[in-house]
Chains A and B, each alone.
Chain A
């Protein structure tokens, strides 16, 4: 089954938002990601599909520079990331945010939801006592959480609510790219649609680009503008 690759609509005349070229990630003798290249435009959704162990997660952590790639280029907003030091990278990190598969594991079990969502503001030095709480409340409301949820701990929320809190935490950094690593696969089927609709609405409203790892063909078809498929660390023609 091969769907024809639709060329992405060019939204701007200049560089794409994300341009990955010949990305290589090795774990000892094993090459997990083998010369993978793709681009992503602003506001676009690119689905990354493939069987488990094919290197999808290694690809996204290399894109996010959470694990430095062994070779290749990751160009984000026209800037080459692989050449930057950790210190130089830190101010750029808020521009691309991950949302993880496990809604509970990605929030600290020791912090209330409100503090977890506020933490990026504090880390990035953008917190002030007047505007900060208002911004957190606004985001919690935007992702569909009650104000009372802000006072709870992650284990006191349902999986869907927790994932919404994770999305709020990613949004507070004002990113242009969200890297969604199977964001709904750990959730009940009944709450998946709600989270996906939330993501779709946010994309429209904020012009976010999504790099979206997903297994579910139905979700991919409805959600993604384009799909690329990986197998054994390489891209296969989609």
Chain B
């Protein structure tokens, strides 16, 4: 009751603050959370000759302040932070701040170039819709937005750098080094931007004022400009997602192209257990992601003015992308057949005489650098990746159902979870627990629940508002009875179906962590790891790299097609119910089904805006 009196904004702001503090504390406490003794690592890194005697190790521990306990550790780190002192690298013994700043400089350059690519691509996606006046929404943009950066970067490296040899693929020495990383980073962001706008535009162009303006002889260019100005402001907050996607994608892209940016520095620090450097880098990446929201809010205020205060401008619901159910079924079938075939073969046997063989009848997809069968590794890799994705989705589903009953608490936490790319959470978790499948799963689970919980909250609200729940209390039903017999059955089914459809996105996020070495460890046949391993000999055996790349692209296609399918089905269902309502209820009462078309389509809008974050 008190929460309601303070308003939803108050409660959400409070949880947002709590979550932000928790993230900051997790970063600050990293050396303590990791629970492993870094003294030996540090000693080895500092001087290879020194014997690891007990005294020497104790001296290192004292030096690092590890024996002082978590609270003083956090206090030291925070007070250092306020003085602008990020500590001293455990490995190199130099100050952390300069490394972070130089990395940040490189990354900001890369990100601005990528943003340029993204804006160009978005314009190219939106222009046809504007020129034709109406048109289908951005299915192509959705496809581009779903391709993970690490996959795009690898393919760009393969095609441009290796086969065509036109552009440098490694390092950071001049403007030509910028092209491939900027494209790899900018294309998914541009796909997301373009799709958001292209999805919103057709409904805006259907509004009556457009017709009126056209009949009054207003030029097409002015109508197009006005429609853009109408469509953009409500989307601006979602553009913040693009910035978050860029910070997450930067880690993968910088790693692939050996760009000395902050993402690569962070990953290197996580792998070498150089926790002070890692803390500095993650902090900088978090600030970058969160700060990107501020200009977005400013632009929105500038565009909307008083309409923002009055909350008077909402967009009409977008018309769904028409996806034939055959598309996800066909993609799924191709994947399933390949995986099933691969599962029958042996993925681990190393055969030194059969290294890097091209595809043949005996080995349909060739062999990798250790002479292992690529098809077998692909099939067994799917079992691990999909199995983990199922576990992650199940955890997300349970969390979402629980949080569906606390929408105000969930909203604040969701803001923070949305601002954290899975890769950065993956780095943090890997630094705390060591890289592994469990850590990767935890990282993806921590950030993948918000769309599900938003959906659950919308459904809970809808059920709670219905008269039949009031009728339940009137017959003397206990809250437990109402929850288990009425509320949960109405909510769990739709949210569970939503979770199933997000599975491919979760699997992609897991694969991107595997690619960066933060997930499953060799020799496990994980898809991201397969791609990473094959990069080393991509010139001699391109098929070994192409196979996991194609499989991941199919997975991305499956993610998009199934998302479009749910969206379309929701709208169809709403149409069917309202038609039935018209047929059955001539004196059309205001009932709960009439409220249904709005809420699920709103939540699927949210889903659309978020799944660019899944990579």
B 296-321 to A, binary, CB cutoff 8 A, 1 in contact else 0: 00000000000000000000000000
Identify the stretch in B64-72, B328-336, B470-478 within 8 Å (CB) of chain A at 4 or more residues: B470-478
Whether B486 sits at the interface, judged by CB under 8 Å, is: yes
Whether B585 sits at the interface, judged by CB under 8 Å, is: yes
A169-201 with Cβ < 8 A to chain B: 169, 173, 186-188
- Taken together as a complex, chains A and B put the C-alpha atoms of A29 and B175 apart, in Å, by 65
Q: List the A side residues contacting B98 at CB < 8 Å.
A: none
- Shortest CB-to-CB span from B573 to chain A, Å, is 13
Contact A124 B476 (CB under 8 A): yes
- Shortest CB-to-CB span from A189 to chain B, Å, is 9
Contact B486 A101 (CB under 8 A): no
- Taken together as a complex, chains A and B put the C-alpha atoms of A103 and B467 apart, in Å, by 10
Q: List the B side residues contacting A101 at CB < 8 Å.
A: 589
Contact B486 A186 (CB under 8 A): no
Whether B49 sits at the interface, judged by CB under 8 Å, is: no
Contact A155 B580 (CB under 8 A): yes
Whether B586 sits at the interface, judged by CB under 8 Å, is: yes
Q: A97-B475, A173-B475 are in contact. Are A123 and B589 (CB under 8 A)?
A: no
Contact B478 A90 (CB under 8 A): yes
> Which of A90, A106, A110, A186 is B476 in contact with, Cβ under 8 Å?
A90
- Taken together as a complex, chains A and B put the C-alpha atoms of A124 and B476 apart, in Å, by 7
Whether B599 sits at the interface, judged by CB under 8 Å, is: no
Q: List the A side residues contacting B466 at CB < 8 Å.
A: 105
Q: List the B side residues contacting A187 at CB < 8 Å.
A: 587
Q: Is the interface of B mostly helix, strand, loop or mixed?
A: helix
> Which of A61, A110, A123 is B475 in contact with, Cβ under 8 Å?
A123
Whether B166 sits at the interface, judged by CB under 8 Å, is: no
B 202-246 to A, binary, CB cutoff 8 A, 1 in contact else 0: 000000000000000000000000000000000000000000000
Whether A76 sits at the interface, judged by CB under 8 Å, is: no
> Which of B475, B490, B589 is A105 in contact with, Cβ under 8 Å?
B589
Whether A66 sits at the interface, judged by CB under 8 Å, is: yes
- Shortest CB-to-CB span from B338 to chain A, Å, is 40
- Taken together as a complex, chains A and B put the C-alpha atoms of A96 and B474 apart, in Å, by 8
Q: A105-B467, A107-B468, A108-B468 are in contact. Are A186 and B477 (CB under 8 A)?
A: no
Most B-side CB within 10 Å, residue of A101, A107, A155: A155
A 111-123 to B, binary, CB cutoff 8 A, 1 in contact else 0: 0000000011001
Q: A155-B580, A187-B587 are in contact. Are A105 and B592 (CB under 8 A)?
A: yes
Contact A94 B467 (CB under 8 A): no
Contact A119 B589 (CB under 8 A): no
Contact B587 A106 (CB under 8 A): no
Most A-side CB within 10 Å, residue of B468, B472, B590, B591: B468
Q: List the B side residues contacting A109 at CB < 8 Å.
A: 468, 592-593
- Taken together as a complex, chains A and B put the C-alpha atoms of A119 and B490 apart, in Å, by 17
The closest CB in chain B to the CB of A91 belongs to: B476
- Taken together as a complex, chains A and B put the C-alpha atoms of A23 and B555 apart, in Å, by 62
Contact B490 A186 (CB under 8 A): no
Contact A100 B471 (CB under 8 A): yes
The closest CB in chain A to the CB of B476 belongs to: A93
B 456-469 to A, binary, CB cutoff 8 A, 1 in contact else 0: 00000000001110
Whether B481 sits at the interface, judged by CB under 8 Å, is: yes
- Shortest CB-to-CB span from B2 to chain A, Å, is 14
Contact A98 B587 (CB under 8 A): no
The closest CB in chain B to the CB of A92 belongs to: B476
- Taken together as a complex, chains A and B put the C-alpha atoms of A155 and B481 apart, in Å, by 23
Contact B589 A93 (CB under 8 A): no
- Taken together as a complex, chains A and B put the C-alpha atoms of A28 and B227 apart, in Å, by 40
Whether B54 sits at the interface, judged by CB under 8 Å, is: no
Q: List the B side residues contacting A155 at CB < 8 Å.
A: 580, 584, 593
- Shortest CB-to-CB span from A152 to chain B, Å, is 12
The closest CB in chain B to the CB of A116 belongs to: B468
- Taken together as a complex, chains A and B put the C-alpha atoms of A66 and B467 apart, in Å, by 11
Contact A104 B476 (CB under 8 A): no
- Taken together as a complex, chains A and B put the C-alpha atoms of A155 and B582 apart, in Å, by 11
- Taken together as a complex, chains A and B put the C-alpha atoms of A6 and B481 apart, in Å, by 44
The closest CB in chain A to the CB of B592 belongs to: A105
Q: List the A side residues contacting B477 at CB < 8 Å.
A: 119, 123
> Which of B474, B476, B591 is A98 in contact with, Cβ under 8 Å?
B474
- Taken together as a complex, chains A and B put the C-alpha atoms of A169 and B468 apart, in Å, by 12
Contact B468 A106 (CB under 8 A): yes
- Shortest CB-to-CB span from B580 to chain A, Å, is 7
Q: List the B side residues contacting A123 at CB < 8 Å.
A: 472, 475-478, 481
Whether A235 sits at the interface, judged by CB under 8 Å, is: no
Whether B489 sits at the interface, judged by CB under 8 Å, is: yes
Q: A106-B468, A107-B468, A108-B486 are in contact. Are A159 and B475 (CB under 8 A)?
A: no
The closest CB in chain B to the CB of A90 belongs to: B476
Contact B467 A100 (CB under 8 A): yes
Whether A102 sits at the interface, judged by CB under 8 Å, is: yes
The closest CB in chain A to the CB of B586 belongs to: A188
Q: List the A side residues contacting B470 at CB < 8 Å.
A: 61, 66, 98, 100, 106
- Shortest CB-to-CB span from B298 to chain A, Å, is 33
B414-452 with Cβ < 8 A to chain A: none
Q: A123-B481, A155-B584 are in contact. Are A64 and B474 (CB under 8 A)?
A: yes
Contact B481 A98 (CB under 8 A): no
Contact B584 A158 (CB under 8 A): yes
- Shortest CB-to-CB span from B581 to chain A, Å, is 8
Contact A102 B591 (CB under 8 A): yes
Q: List the A side residues contacting B584 at CB < 8 Å.
A: 155, 158
Contact B587 A97 (CB under 8 A): no
Contact B591 A110 (CB under 8 A): no
Q: List the A side residues contacting B471 at CB < 8 Å.
A: 98, 100, 106-107, 169
The closest CB in chain B to the CB of A157 belongs to: B584
Q: List the A side residues contacting B467 at CB < 8 Å.
A: 100, 102, 105-106
The closest CB in chain A to the CB of B591 belongs to: A105
- Shortest CB-to-CB span from A49 to chain B, Å, is 21
Q: List the A side residues contacting B486 at CB < 8 Å.
A: 108, 110
- Shortest CB-to-CB span from A55 to chain B, Å, is 17
- Taken together as a complex, chains A and B put the C-alpha atoms of A100 and B591 apart, in Å, by 11
Contact A93 B590 (CB under 8 A): no
> Which of A61, A102, A158 is B589 in contact with, Cβ under 8 Å?
A102
7 contacts between A and B (CB under 8 A): A64-B474, A91-B476, A93-B476, A98-B471, A98-B474, A123-B481, A159-B589
Q: A66-B474, A102-B590 are in contact. List 16 more A-B contacts (CB 8 A).
A: A66-B470, A93-B475, A97-B474, A98-B470, A98-B471, A98-B474, A100-B471, A105-B468, A106-B470, A107-B471, A108-B468, A109-B468, A109-B592, A110-B490, A119-B475, A186-B587
